[in-house]
A and B are shown apart, each in its own frame.
Chain A
Amino acid sequence: MATADNAAERELVNAAKLGDTAAFESLMRAHAHRVYAHGLRFFGDSGAADDVVQEVFVKVYRSIATFDGTAAFTTWLYRITRNVCLDLLRAGKRRPMAVDLLDVSLQASDDPMAEAITAVAFESVMRTLAPEDREALSAVTLFGLTYAQAGEVLGVPAGTVKSRVFRARKTLITALRGEGGVA
Chain B
Amino acid sequence: MTMDCAAAQQVLSAAFDGESVDSAALCSAEEHYGECTQCAEFVAALERVREASAILIPADVLERALHRVRAEAAEGADGDSETAAQTPLVDDAPSRLPAMPAWAGWAAAAAAMLVVVGIATTQGVHYLLRPATTTSPQENSTFGGDRGSEHVTSSGTAQDEAATESLEAAVPASSPAPSYVVFDQEVYVLGGKEAVRPDGTPVGSLISALDTGDPPLEHPVYASDSPDVIVIAATEDEALRFTLVTRTVRGDVYSLRSGQIDAFGDWPTLPDAVPEPSSPDGLPVFAKAGKDDLDVSIFTRLGRSRSAGVAVAPGTGRDDPAAGSTGWTWWEPRR
Contact = CB atoms under 8 A, between A and B. Distances in A.
Interface of A: 1-9, 11-12, 14-16, 18-30, 32-33, 35-37, 40, 46, 49-50, 53-54, 56-58, 61-63, 65, 72, 74, 113, 117, 119, 122, 137, 140-149, 162-163, 165-166, 169-170, 172-173, 176-177
B208 interface: no
B61 A11 contact: no
A35 B105 CA distance: 26
Interface of B: 9-10, 13-14, 17-19, 41-42, 44-46, 48-50, 52-58, 61-62, 64-66, 68-69, 72-73, 83, 86-91, 94, 97-98, 100-101, 103-104, 106-108, 110-112, 114-115, 119-122, 124-125, 128-129, 154-161, 164, 168
Given A15-B108, A63-B86, A37 B101 contact: no
Q: Which of A27, A137, A146, A147 has the largest number of chain B CB atoms within 10 A?
A: A146
Contact of B111 (A5, A23, A147): A23
A26 B98 contact: no
B121 to A, nearest CB: 5
A5 B156 contact: yes
Contacts of B122: 2, 6
Q: Which of B88, B121, B154 has the largest number of chain A CB atoms within 10 A?
A: B88
B86 A169 contact: no
A162 B19 contact: yes
A132 to B, nearest CB: 17
A2 B154 contact: yes
Contact of A54 (B45, B65, B120): B65
Q: Is the interface of A mostly helix, strand, loop or mixed?
A: helix
A113 B108 contact: no
Contact of A141 (B14, B53, B121): B53
12 contacts: A1-B50, A14-B104, A21-B73, A23-B104, A24-B89, A36-B57, A53-B62, A56-B65, A57-B68, A140-B17, A145-B157, A149-B158
Contacts of A11: 103-104, 106-107, 110
B49 A169 contact: yes
B66 A57 contact: yes
A169 B13 contact: yes
A61 B87 contact: yes
A6 B68 contact: no
A165 B13 contact: yes
Given A23-B111, A33-B54, A119-B55, A49 B13 contact: no
CB-CB nearest 7 A-B residue pairs: A144-B156, A26-B111, A3-B156, A36-B57, A2-B156, A11-B107, A15-B104
